Amino acid sequence: MESKYMIIFVLSCLLAACAGKQTKHNEMQNTRHIDTIWAKYCDGLHNEPHFLKQDASYQDGKKVLKKGQKAIGLTSDIVKETDRLIMAWLERNDKLSSTNSRVLNNYFKQYLCYKEKGQVFVFVNLYAYRTTIYANEENVTHTFAENPNTTVINPKKGTDTNYMILLVNLTQKTVLMPF
């Protein structure tokens, strides 16, 4: 008779242990979610450009500005001219044939204006979306960068239809892909 109770007790313990693990797993699953925000769906207030600081870096820690490059302030005229040159470049670029990639409003933007050897350049990073991971109610992780004014949000450090790093030479009115 005691063995009968012992078996029931052991089975109850195993059942409770399994249920507990499943509950903890479900709790972890329920408290973690990812939000992807696409620039093309944001209104003007949530799609304002970010102006990178002179000490801005890529996610790997490498600085954007190199020796001999000095950051200068961005004006609204510089931003307008930069955007105009980029739009014209996107229209001519065969590699980025997606119609979505040709609309500058479909990107979040980061700018850094600098001078080098008497010429004015604007480093421009365009990214179609940003991702935020919520681990629980208190922890938030910005997957690509916590501060868009100091970190370039481009995990590929390159160019495709969702991420573009461009270098606009305002002195010569040209757009280059540096990578």
pLDDT of residue 112 exceeding 90, the answer is yes
Q: Any idea what the Cα angle at residue 20 is, between residues 17 and 25, rounded to 5°?
A: 130
Which run of H or of E encompasses 152?
Answer: none
Secondary structure (3-state) at 111: strand
User: Tens digit of pLDDT for each residue in 20-37?
Assistant: 443 344 444 556 677 788
Phi, psi at 107, each rounded to 5°: -130, 145
81/124 Cα distance (integer angstroms) = 12
**What pLDDT does residue 12 have?**
57
CA 123 to chain centre: 16
Closest C-alpha to 106, from 35, 51, 37, 38: 38
**What pLDDT does residue 22 have?**
39
Across the range 122-151, mean pLDDT stands at: 74
pLDDT of residue 161 exceeding 80, the answer is no
- Mean confidence (pLDDT) of the chain: 77
Decide: pTM greater than 0.85.
no
User: Tens digit of pLDDT for each residue in 47-72?
Assistant: 788 899 999 998 888 999 999 999 99
